[in-house]
A = this chain, B = another copy of it.
Amino acid sequence: MKFNDRLRAVCREKNSLLTIGLDADLEKLPPFLMDFESPILEFNKSIINATNDVVCAYKINTAFYEQFGIAGFRSMKKTIELISGDTLLIVDGKRGDIRHTSEKYAKALFHELRADAVTVNPYLGYDSVAPFLEDEAKGVFLLCLTSNPGAADFQYLTVDDKYLFEKVAEKAENWNRNGNVGLVVGGTHADDLPRIRAIAPDLPILLPGIGTQGGDLKKSLSLGCDKKGESLLVTVSRSILYASEDLNFASLSRDVAIKMRDEINRVRGSKGRK
């Protein structure tokens, strides 16, 4: 099945557009976890057990694991093994290189890490993205308009009366021949979502920047969903992960996740089967 169809099916089945970013920061974990051999793995396990039925996908940002070298790589692999079949895995590495090298990254992310989808930086153009697109069952979220202040430096430059990020959206729409291309658009730029939807009405959008970064959830949903109220994955990390430092932290994270999923469904007008 093409990735974008699969994503839609999973979101409908679970009635959720919520994605949790498993970006565990050692300094922010509940202190009692420090007694475990791998506090991050233990943390992730609790979060996954507590939220698996609430989310459509987990997002793993490779930086948070790579910083710990081989031990971190091992935690990442073990975390991935905990993510079960009906929940998608997005590996957020923002890779991208010349074709010959991107082929290796595609192998690393889709085979070694078993990602269902990845994030890719578009700056190197088509041949750098192509190896990630070959398998229609695997998805690629191209960085389009990122949530950070630095987005202004290049993404808002004007090219032929359009912003550069609109050029990226145009290319993404063209490159979607296998039904597996999506976009990353930060919720901090909700006002620009209509520009992107005008170019790419149906591509799935991965939307970080809600929560700690201050993006506007309601506006993002009303301007960023497709016409059916779908195709927008709201990815949240810190405000769900660090809901509490208590022994029962995971059940509090679950409460926040459920509240967020339901709020998303309310705003996008889903009937909600759960």
Contact = CB atoms under 8 A, between A and B. Distances in A.
Interface of A: 23, 61, 63-64, 66-70, 72-74, 77, 94-99, 101-102, 104-105, 107-108, 111-112, 121-129, 143, 146-155, 157-160, 164, 167-168, 171, 213
Nearest to A168: B154
Nearest to A97: B94
B150 A63 contact: no
Contacts of A73: 69-70, 73
A143 B123 contact: yes
Chain A binding surface SS class: helix
Identical chains bound together, number: 2
Contact of A125 (B69, B97, B98, B155): B155
11 contacts: A23-B101, A69-B73, A70-B70, A94-B95, A94-B96, A98-B148, A99-B150, A123-B154, A124-B148, A128-B148, A157-B164
Contacts of A104: 61, 63-64, 66-67
A125 B153 contact: yes
B125 A151 contact: yes
A60 to B, nearest CB: 12
Among A107, A108, A213, max chain B CB count under 10 A is at A108
